[in-house]
Chain A
């Protein structure tokens, strides 16, 4: 059933690109990799992986809710992610309070979203291909229109990140110093969560709620273990994410197993290798 690998890499590339669905998947994967690794670099720096994961599962209530009231699915994704970002931003405003309250608030937002999603799903009996598809995505069923929409959202997100890049960096590393220098830290917190939500909503329509999280956290974490400088770190993070997505898609094409498994395993292996070499070098 599956195409077989030949010794000649050029033949393999031709086999890989002979179907339009595979070209679409590679295009979408490239866009997703770049967006997720840039936003994810900031997310890992700000230690907001939990918030990122919460936003990425908001795809579930978004999709089921939209199906229930007859809205387009993608609108549901954006609405759910935006609402969750606002809810989390609101609860984390009193920064003086310790992180104790904050994680409980994020956890509550996440389960409320998931519980609502489950409620929508059981109210609406025509199941959307089962909850697993929503969570784990259908990377190989993307059409050209989705790729263009994804590109637009990705460009908007990246442009917004570029605008706030420097103040966001300062306020992520040292919020006190940033506040002293007049950077609107609280506003930036909110903006960052909204941007994270936007990126996640766009990408999880294609990669599934759980896979986008793997791309958000693994490449940036590995990059930050290798270098702490922002410029090279961001470039490295993008490169690693692209490598993971391309290899994962190609491996899935030539084997019976899903791309998500390969991508997450590659990300984990990468992080493990980087951490171990760093520990060994000391």
Chain B
């Protein structure tokens, strides 16, 4: 299996994208911003289509669109976090622009509309070239390290916003920076698992980790481990079963971990059990 270049590229990109998704996801779930992640992932799709309409490189469209919307959302909400309704409204509008762009793409001379759109929606990790996968790995690694470095102030201003402000933590700026990090992850992982499915890699491993572990570093490590494990397993599964798309396999495994974690957590909290520790 690893004799093929495309498999090696997919594993290289997938590992670090999953690492970044697991890390950022743990914080996303803690901050209850999964909906923002969802919005950014759909924005990534619109960005990819926009780049195709303008004839630009897909990655430019992805990063410009997601980072711009992340900044916009944090400007709309208080404390640099966007609320449910303002995300929803902005989100719906961006999707409307997506419809317009798809129409424009369909009528333009370039054609190939269906393939570009399907790739952006569902990803094509096995089609990544060596250059693209090295960039993906680099971006994933950098985002993970940045988040790890900023973990303490981020957790503090999530759990105790007032206290963090009193201690001089720039709460609003951190909120915006965090959304930008989320945007970068969304843009990068769109190429691997696709705009519609990357939310699963952000939400499911992190949700499982939050059910199982409360301490920050342990939870973060668990979340990243589940994300990376699901990616490795999903890639191998879809290599063996040719009709199974890699992104569906990855999401399936991640969701399975979440369901298992929910069952374990319920069993641990079952009535009549003495609280250990």
A positions within 8 Å CB-CB of B: 44, 47-50, 52-53, 57, 91, 98-101, 103-108, 110-112, 114-116, 118-119, 122-123, 130-132, 135-136, 210-211, 213-214, 217-218, 221, 256-258, 260-265, 267-268, 271
Contact = CB atoms under 8 A, between A and B. Distances in A.
Name, among B83, B97, B107, B201, the residue most crowded by chain A CB atoms within 10 Å (CB to CB): B97
Interface in B240-277: 243-245, 247-248, 251-252, 254-255, 258, 262
B87 interface: yes
Given A47-B85, A53-B35, A107-B199, 20 more contacts: A49-B85, A49-B88, A50-B88, A100-B30, A104-B210, A115-B200, A118-B194, A118-B248, A122-B248, A132-B117, A210-B95, A210-B99, A214-B93, A217-B88, A217-B89, A263-B96, A264-B93, A264-B95, A264-B99, A267-B89
Contacts of B254: 108
B102 interface: yes
Contacts of A218: 89, 92
Nearest to A221: B85
Nearest to A57: B196
B121 A131 contact: yes
B118 A261 contact: no
Interface string B21-39: 0000000011011110110
A105 B199 CA distance: 11
A115 B251 CA distance: 7
Contacts of A105: 207, 258, 262
Question: 6 closest A-B pairs (Cβ-Cβ)?
Answer: A264-B96, A104-B207, A111-B200, A107-B203, A268-B93, A214-B92
Interface in B218-241: none
Interface in B56-114: 83-85, 87-93, 95-100, 102-103, 107, 114
Contact of A50 (B84, B197, B252): B84
A110 B96 contact: no
B32 to A, nearest CB: 5
B262 A49 contact: no
B11 interface: no
Contacts of A135: 121
Given A119-B245, A258-B103, A108 B204 contact: yes
A73 to B, nearest CB: 19
7 contacts: A47-B84, A50-B34, A107-B35, A110-B199, A211-B96, A264-B93, A264-B95
Contacts of B258: 104-105, 108
Interface residues of B, number: 56
A257 B103 contact: yes
B71 to A, nearest CB: 16
Interface of B: 29-30, 32-35, 37-38, 83-85, 87-93, 95-100, 102-103, 107, 114, 117-118, 121-122, 194, 196-197, 199-204, 206-207, 210-211, 243-245, 247-248, 251-252, 254-255, 258, 262
A101 B219 CA distance: 14
A124 to B, nearest CB: 10
Contacts of B88: 44, 49-50, 52-53, 213, 217, 221
Contacts of B100: 257-258, 261
A106 B252 contact: no
A112 B34 contact: no
A131 B96 CA distance: 16
A101 B211 contact: yes
Given A122-B243, A214-B95, A104 B204 contact: yes
Contacts of A271: 89
B85 A260 contact: no
B99 A258 contact: yes
Given A103-B35, A268-B89, A268-B92, A115 B252 contact: yes
A268 B74 CA distance: 17
Contact of A136 (B102, B197, B262): B102
B29 A103 contact: yes
